[in-house]
Amino acid sequence: MGYGATRTLERVAAAMGALEAAPLVFEAARDIPEGGVLLALPALLAVGLLRHSGEYVLPPGFYGQSSVMILLALMDLARLDSIEQLRYQAAGEWGNLLGLDRVPEVRTLRNKIKLLCQEQGRAARWNATLAQEWIGQQQAGHGSGLAFYIDGHVRVYHGDLTKLPRHYVPRERFYLRATVDYWVNALDGQPFCYFNQAVDHGLVQAMRGDVLPWLEANVSLSAEQQQRMAADPRVPRFTVIFDREGYSPDLFRELQAKRIAALTYHRYPDGEAWPEEEFQEQSVKLVNGETVRMQLAERGTHVGKRPGVWVREVRKLGTGGHQVSIVSTNFSGDAAAQAVALMARWSQENYFKYMREHFGLDALVQYGTEEIPATVTVLNPVWRDLNRQVRQKQAECKSLRKLQQSVHLAQPLSEAAMRQYEQHQGQLQARIELLEPALKQLQLERKQTLRQIPVRDLPEPDRFTQLRRERKHFLDTLKMIAYRAETSMAATVREKLKRSDDARALLRQIYATEIDVMPDLQAKTLTVRLHHLTQAAHDVAVRHLCEELTATETTFPGTDLRLVYKLGSG
């Protein structure tokens, strides 16, 4: 039964199928290591940890579904990046946090997760249901509606089970085998959902194929937003914000027809700089509440092939006279609101970085691969080779023509210099004329070759499968819940901190701090007493956090015990 197992009869009953799930029984315990994660339980439940999780059902056993879900979320906050790391934790001490004698062994927990993730697509449905609630909690902007950041995150694969396509990884500055997840985040960086692309065709195709249809189906409009849209045809349903990779006038036109606004950097701004007299200094409030001043100017312009798309172009004047061009199809609101919404895209990048470092976002959680749907197309290897040869020939021709133009005759002219010049130019021209027929033949072959082909038509050496996704999506949804819970707690402790940037570091310290657990069955309370931290200033913030958490009157799931949080040591 393992170390720490004291509820022997219940475990035997569970093994015989006579117990649906072990009842939660809390006992007084002191100095529970890393017990501070229990302070996050009210936030986890408020975000939606056990809400809508009824679709996940476990067969009868000692560990019930709610205990497993709570354990996995607490492990995320305790910075246990993988299930395997639970092997090195005190099982009995963690059991005290859940009302059990001990937490499951790694093998048992893996089996529970396997049972929860048997049905393909269940995790995506759960994530979508939660995301609908999270989106509903977002307050619409002044006249501009909801806004979403959309960006791709490259998840590198170092295994050898399949030869995934290579992607450029900016943080590594290298091309590596990887898969791409396209994330949808709020303006403050908090996640809503993501879409995995086994074969990535770029941000524009990902938005057309998965992201935008999902947003159209799941973003509900408030009555106030509907009134604004009815009163002003320029008010969009919502705005999508992305980087230069998604710049596409055709996409802008498609979105306009659906009353969806786009906001991105101008990929091909006019080379002529705007006069500095057009720029006016404006106060801009960032997402984190900080106020900065920007030099901004605005014009209307057409982008794309004629007739093009009429957009707002906002430029920010930076140091040294550099101008950053922003285009938007959202014609409501001022230029400052457009600029700050795009400039604050760092919040999504910070989310990726923080999740990689603290929540194991890129971790491989399941071994094995699965077939890619037959409708998915990939770049034809034959076309790719022909294209590479064409580019090589074009580069050679360009280099030779550049050499022709760079040769100059020295003054005064002489007959020998003229002969040498003509001979050199003739040799270069002969090489160009020799290359041009081969280049035209390669271009013709490339034109006659399909650029995209179905995965099933790939030659055997180039054929690949995709990584299994269900278990990854399930655990990633739990990580989103944990991140959102931590974010809400950080907002509370910031109220008592002089340095707001210290909030998450303080929470990590709280999660690693010992606690005492004191149940009172008569009063129906479960008191969680956190030990003092290293500084008095931190204790002030933690005491405020405990008061706010206690005020939520959260009941521990599966019991009638109300959680009471205190600071101090017995």
pLDDT tens, position by position, 90-100: 999 999 999 99
Provide the token pair at 417: 């210099």
Provide the token pair at 334: 């001022």
pLDDT tens, position by position, 518-566: 999 999 999 999 999 988 889 999 999 999 999 999 999 999 999 999 9
Partners of residue 294 on adjacent β-strands: 282
Mean pLDDT score, 145-153: 91
Examine the pLDDT at 201 and tell me if it is beyond 50. yes
**Residues 244, 254: Cα–Cα separation, whole Å:** 17
pLDDT score of 2: 64
pLDDT score of 344: 85
The most confident of 137-151, 340-354, 517-531, by mean pLDDT? 517-531
Q: Of 362, 357, 347, 355, whose CA–CA distance to 482 is shortest?
A: 355
Examine the pLDDT at 139 and tell me if it is beyond 60. no
How would you write 161-193 as a 3-class SS string?
CCCCCEEEECCCCEEEEEEEEEEEECCCCCEEE
pTM for the whole thing?
A: 0.89
pLDDT tens, position by position, 276-294: 889 988 887 776 677 788 8
Check residues 404 and 279 and name the one with the higher pLDDT.
279
Asked if 69 contacts 123 with a C-beta cutoff of 8 angstroms, the reply is: no
Mean pLDDT score, 104-117: 94
Partners of residue 154 on adjacent β-strands: 180
Mean pLDDT score, 244-272: 91
pLDDT score of 504: 95
pLDDT score of 141: 45
The dihedral built from the CA positions of residue 236, 240, 241 and 245, taken in this order, carries a sign that is negative
Examine the pLDDT at 333 and tell me if it is beyond 80. no
Examine the pLDDT at 110 and tell me if it is beyond 90. yes
Q: What is the mean pLDDT of the chain?
A: 89
pLDDT score of 59: 92
pLDDT score of 143: 42
Asked if 539 contacts 533 with a C-beta cutoff of 8 angstroms, the reply is: yes
pLDDT score of 411: 65
Asked if 77 contacts 486 with a C-beta cutoff of 8 angstroms, the reply is: yes
pLDDT score of 142: 40
Terminus-to-terminus CA distance in the chain, angstroms? 32
pLDDT score of 461: 81
pLDDT score of 420: 80
Mean pLDDT score, 450-454: 89
- Tokens 């023509």: give the residue: 401
Q: Which of the residue ranges 1-5, 80-84, 224-228, 543-547 would you say has the lowest mean pLDDT? A: 1-5
Instruction: Work out the percent of the chain whose per-residue pLDDT is above 70.
Output: 97
Check residues 72 and 417 and name the one with the higher pLDDT.
72
Angle CA 455–456–460, to nearest 5: 95
Mean pLDDT score, 7-32: 91
pLDDT score of 533: 93
Asked if 169 contacts 178 with a C-beta cutoff of 8 angstroms, the reply is: yes
pLDDT score of 338: 82
pLDDT tens, position by position, 222-257: 888 888 888 888 889 999 999 999 999 999 999 999
pLDDT score of 543: 95
Contacts of 543 (CB under 8 A, 6+ apart): 567
Examine the pLDDT at 451 and tell me if it is beyond 70. yes
